[in-house]
Amino acid sequence: MKRTAEFVLSLIGVILGTLGWFWLPVSALIYLAIPDFTSFGSFIYFLIYAIIDIPVLVFNWIGTFKLKKHPAGWGFYFLATGILFLNVFSIIVAGMLLGRQQAAEISAPAAPLNNTLPNEQA
Protein backbone atom coordinates (compact mmCIF):
# COMPACT_ATOMS: atom_id res chain seq x y z
CA MET A 1 0.00 0.00 0.00
CA LYS A 2 1.31 3.43 -0.89
CA ARG A 3 1.72 5.63 2.14
CA THR A 4 2.51 8.93 0.49
CA ALA A 5 0.55 11.10 2.94
CA GLU A 6 2.31 9.58 5.94
CA PHE A 7 5.69 9.78 4.23
CA VAL A 8 5.25 13.43 3.25
CA LEU A 9 3.98 14.43 6.70
CA SER A 10 6.78 12.61 8.49
CA LEU A 11 9.34 14.10 6.09
CA ILE A 12 8.00 17.60 6.74
CA GLY A 13 8.04 16.87 10.46
CA VAL A 14 11.60 15.60 10.40
CA ILE A 15 12.82 18.60 8.41
CA LEU A 16 11.05 21.03 10.75
CA GLY A 17 12.35 19.12 13.77
CA THR A 18 15.89 19.32 12.44
CA LEU A 19 15.55 23.05 11.82
CA GLY A 20 14.14 23.42 15.33
CA TRP A 21 17.06 21.47 16.71
CA PHE A 22 19.50 23.88 15.07
CA TRP A 23 17.59 26.75 16.69
CA LEU A 24 17.96 25.27 20.21
CA PRO A 25 21.68 26.08 20.74
CA VAL A 26 21.21 29.53 19.21
CA SER A 27 18.33 30.29 21.55
CA ALA A 28 20.33 28.91 24.49
CA LEU A 29 23.14 31.33 23.71
CA ILE A 30 20.65 34.18 23.39
CA TYR A 31 19.18 33.35 26.80
CA LEU A 32 22.69 33.12 28.22
CA ALA A 33 23.48 36.62 26.97
CA ILE A 34 20.41 38.15 28.66
CA PRO A 35 21.28 39.28 32.19
CA ASP A 36 17.97 38.44 33.82
CA PHE A 37 17.40 36.43 36.97
CA THR A 38 14.23 34.81 35.68
CA SER A 39 15.95 33.25 32.66
CA PHE A 40 19.20 32.38 34.42
CA GLY A 41 19.08 28.59 34.02
CA SER A 42 17.08 28.43 30.80
CA PHE A 43 20.13 27.90 28.61
CA ILE A 44 20.94 24.69 30.50
CA TYR A 45 17.44 23.39 29.76
CA PHE A 46 17.82 24.17 26.06
CA LEU A 47 21.22 22.50 25.83
CA ILE A 48 20.03 19.36 27.64
CA TYR A 49 16.98 19.19 25.37
CA ALA A 50 19.21 19.58 22.31
CA ILE A 51 21.45 16.72 23.47
CA ILE A 52 18.47 14.45 24.19
CA ASP A 53 16.90 15.34 20.85
CA ILE A 54 19.89 14.10 18.77
CA PRO A 55 19.04 10.35 18.90
CA VAL A 56 15.36 11.14 18.42
CA LEU A 57 16.14 13.06 15.23
CA VAL A 58 18.36 10.25 13.97
CA PHE A 59 15.57 7.70 14.52
CA ASN A 60 13.04 10.08 12.93
CA TRP A 61 15.16 10.30 9.77
CA ILE A 62 15.59 6.51 9.71
CA GLY A 63 11.90 5.91 10.39
CA THR A 64 10.78 8.27 7.67
CA PHE A 65 12.52 6.25 4.99
CA LYS A 66 11.68 2.82 6.47
CA LEU A 67 8.03 3.76 6.84
CA LYS A 68 6.73 1.60 4.01
CA LYS A 69 8.28 -1.64 5.29
CA HIS A 70 7.03 -1.56 8.90
CA PRO A 71 4.21 0.97 9.14
CA ALA A 72 2.76 -0.18 12.47
CA GLY A 73 6.01 0.03 14.43
CA TRP A 74 7.15 3.32 12.96
CA GLY A 75 3.64 4.73 13.29
CA PHE A 76 3.68 4.00 17.02
CA TYR A 77 7.18 5.49 17.27
CA PHE A 78 6.16 8.69 15.45
CA LEU A 79 3.05 9.02 17.59
CA ALA A 80 5.02 8.54 20.82
CA THR A 81 7.83 10.93 19.92
CA GLY A 82 5.38 13.49 18.58
CA ILE A 83 3.50 13.46 21.87
CA LEU A 84 6.61 13.45 24.07
CA PHE A 85 8.56 16.14 22.26
CA LEU A 86 5.68 18.26 20.86
CA ASN A 87 8.02 20.20 18.59
CA VAL A 88 6.50 19.05 15.32
CA PHE A 89 2.77 18.50 14.86
CA SER A 90 2.99 16.62 11.55
CA ILE A 91 4.86 13.73 13.22
CA ILE A 92 1.81 13.21 15.45
CA VAL A 93 -0.53 13.32 12.45
CA ALA A 94 1.63 10.85 10.51
CA GLY A 95 1.60 8.47 13.47
CA MET A 96 -2.19 8.71 13.77
CA LEU A 97 -2.63 8.10 10.03
CA LEU A 98 -0.39 5.05 10.16
CA GLY A 99 -2.27 3.66 13.15
CA ARG A 100 -5.64 4.28 11.50
CA GLN A 101 -4.67 2.54 8.27
CA GLN A 102 -3.13 -0.38 10.12
CA ALA A 103 -6.35 -0.82 12.13
CA ALA A 104 -8.40 -0.66 8.93
CA GLU A 105 -6.25 -3.39 7.39
CA ILE A 106 -6.66 -5.61 10.47
CA SER A 107 -10.42 -5.13 10.77
CA ALA A 108 -11.15 -5.74 7.07
CA PRO A 109 -13.85 -8.38 6.66
CA ALA A 110 -12.66 -11.82 5.71
CA ALA A 111 -13.92 -13.74 2.71
CA PRO A 112 -17.23 -15.53 3.37
CA LEU A 113 -16.92 -19.16 4.37
CA ASN A 114 -18.40 -21.87 2.22
CA ASN A 115 -20.47 -24.08 4.53
CA THR A 116 -20.60 -27.11 2.24
CA LEU A 117 -18.45 -30.13 2.91
CA PRO A 118 -16.22 -31.47 0.13
CA ASN A 119 -18.15 -34.80 -0.07
CA GLU A 120 -21.54 -33.09 -0.14
CA GLN A 121 -23.06 -32.68 -3.55
CA ALA A 122 -25.99 -30.45 -4.28
User: HSE on the CB side for 33, CA within 13 Å?
Assistant: 6
Q: What is the pLDDT of residue 89?
A: 60
In angstroms, rounded to a whole number, what is the distance separating the alpha carbons of residues 62 and 94? 15
In angstroms, rounded to a whole number, what is the distance separating the alpha carbons of residues 69 and 13? 19
Indicate the burial class of 55 (C-beta count within 10 angstroms; 0-12, 13-18, 19 or more): exposed
User: What is the arithmetic mean of pLDDT over 12-18?
Assistant: 85
Q: What is the pLDDT of residue 12?
A: 84
Whether the predicted pLDDT of 42 surpasses 60: yes
Handedness of CA 91, 96, 97, 98 (dihedral sign): positive
Percentage of the chain exceeding pLDDT 90: 0
| Assessment of whether the complete model's pTM goes beyond 0.85 | no
